[in-house]
Amino acid sequence: MTLAQLFNQNSFLIGVVALLGGLLIALIARRAGVLAWSIWGTALVLAVGVYFAMRTAAPQAFESAADVQRAVSAGTPTLVEFYSDF
């Protein structure tokens, strides 16, 4: 994995860590009060919540054509992807 791929796949996480880390350093340097720390803590909790809410589940692998047909006819959105080197 190249550095560009790493950043592309984790850009939200890297951006939030950089932003909240910068704010953390600023709050420590300014000896901020309780209100500023409360806002920072709320932003941290919201960022973690958004991160976990936006994660995607692992894809489901189908073992047979019958499993694919069952998933398609179940009424849930299904993406069937075929891959071949040839």
**pLDDT digits 0-9 by tens, 55-67:** 777 777 778 888 8
Domain that holds residue 7: 3-59
Residue 44 counted as domain residue: yes
> Is there a domain that residue 78 lies in?
no
Q: Is residue 9 part of a domain?
A: yes
Q: How many structural domains compose the chain?
A: 1
pLDDT tens by residue, 23-76: 888 888 888 888 988 888 898 899 888 888 887 777 777 788 888 788 778 876
DSSP secondary structure letters along the chain: --HHHHHHHTHHHHHHHHHHHHHHHHHHHHT--HHHHHHHHHHHHHHHHHHHHHPPPPPPPPSSHHHHHHHHHTTS----------
pLDDT band at 78; cut points 50, 70, 90: low
Residue 74 in any domain: the answer is no
* pTM above threshold 0.85: no
The answer as to whether 36 is a domain residue is: yes
Indicate whether 33 belongs to any domain. yes
Q: What is the rounded average pLDDT for all residues in the chain?
A: 82
